[in-house]
Homo-oligomer: A and B are copies of this chain.
Amino acid sequence: MNKNIIAKSALIDENVIIGKNVKIGENTVIRAGSIIGDNVDISDGTYIDFNVIIRDNVTIGINSFIGARAILGEYLADFTVKREIAPHMLSIGDNSVIRSDTIIYGDSIIGDYFQTGHRVTIRENSQIGSHVRIGTLSDIQGHCEIGNYVNMHSNVHIGHKSTIKDYVWIFPYVVLTNDPNPPSENLFGVTVEEFAVIATGTVILPGMVIGKESLVGAGAVVTRNVLPERVVVGNPAKDIGSTDRIRDKETGKQVYPWKYSFDRGMPWEGIGYETWKEMDEEGKHSILG
């Protein structure tokens, strides 16, 4: 039985295929060529661009943007290999921007204010917090946890079993590996602690812990744990000192901890980390502001 509930204010182009038990909210737009599966819930104010594929059991929060040719709720191996149909839920939060050609599998939960670049791939069993941004071509292999306010730039590869905590920055062409004895079945994910920064082109070996507020320099190959507030560089990476020694070459000012000098997109934007932290401790707002 088909129980679709489609708001009268929704604008749906011709040549859109819509499945069963679909809810489409107020002021949504669905452009031509899109295909919507069964049990899909598209919330108010969301814009679905041309040729998007939304498979079964996908929920999208309000005021989101789904770019052309995104695939949401992509098939897992049970269907592609065995042609079995099993339900896999995908939930994407409010105010998200999924740019064109992004593929997100079923069996994942993603928070509000999520943004992707183009051609991002996110596999099953990914738990992603709020205010996370993942750049063009990045490849999240699934079975991983990503916190809040995490920023990944282009072409980042996050192996199975990785854990990335809040306020982490990962720059282009970084790989978090997981297999200490390749090929093997015993995978050990990398853990990246709060406020850590991993610069461009680094490889993190399996099971490593990248400490809180630490900095991994560009091109490093990290073969040992990185201690909190330390800088490592090189292949293999060596600890070259404390982050508090780094100065901006232009201004001479101390750069790290970066939370005191950078606020764009952060919950302390416009008020500074210290003021925000005081407010937070007084319970005046939540971490997800």
A residues with a Cβ closer than 8 A to B are 15, 17, 32-33, 35, 47, 50-51, 53, 65, 67-69, 71, 74-75, 80-81, 83, 97, 99-101, 103, 117-119, 121, 136-137, 139, 141, 151, 154-155, 157, 159, 169, 171-173, 175, 177, 179-186, 197, 199-201, 203, 205, 218-219, 221, 233-236, 246, 248-250, 255, 258, 261-262, 264
Whether A249 pairs with B180 at a CB distance below 8 angstroms is yes
- A264→B200 contact, CB < 8 A: no
For the complex of A and B, the 5 pairs showing the least CB-CB separation, nearest first, are A219-B221, A201-B203, A181-B255, A203-B219, A235-B235
Given contacts A33-B35, A53-B68, 19 further A-B contacts (CB under 8 A): A100-B103, A103-B118, A118-B121, A119-B119, A121-B136, A136-B139, A137-B137, A139-B155, A173-B173, A173-B203, A175-B201, A177-B218, A181-B255, A183-B258, A183-B262, A185-B262, A201-B203, A201-B221, A233-B236
Q: Classify the interface of chain A: helix, strand, loop or mixed.
A: loop
Q: Do the beta carbons of B183 and A197 come within 8 Å of each other? A: yes
* Complex alpha-carbon distance, A69 and B248, angstroms: 44
**Residue from B71, B141, B233 within 8 A of A68 (CB atoms):** B71
Q: Which residue of B lies closest to A97 (CB)?
A: B80
Using A182-B199, A258-B183 as known contacts, say yes or no to A83 and B103 having CB atoms under 8 A apart. no
**Inter-subunit contact A172/B175 (CB<8 Å):** yes
Residues of B with C-beta under 8 A to A262: 183-185
CB closest chain-B residue, reference A223 = B218
Contacts of A264 in B (CB 8 A): 183, 185
State whether A50 and B65 are in contact (beta carbons under 8 Å apart), knowing that A71-B100, A172-B157 are contacts in the complex: no
Shortest C-beta distance, A197 to chain B (Å), equals 6
* B81 and A65 form a contact (CB under 8 A): yes
Nearest B residue to A199 by beta-carbon distance?
B182
For A75, A119, A183, A236, which residue has the most chain B Cβ atoms within 10 angstroms? A183
Q: Offer 16 A-B interface pairs, CB within 8 angstroms, sorted by A.
A: A33-B33, A47-B83, A51-B51, A67-B80, A71-B100, A74-B100, A101-B119, A103-B118, A154-B157, A171-B177, A172-B175, A181-B246, A200-B203, A201-B203, A201-B221, A219-B221
Instruction: Name the B residues within 8 Å of A119 (CB-CB).
Output: 101, 119, 121
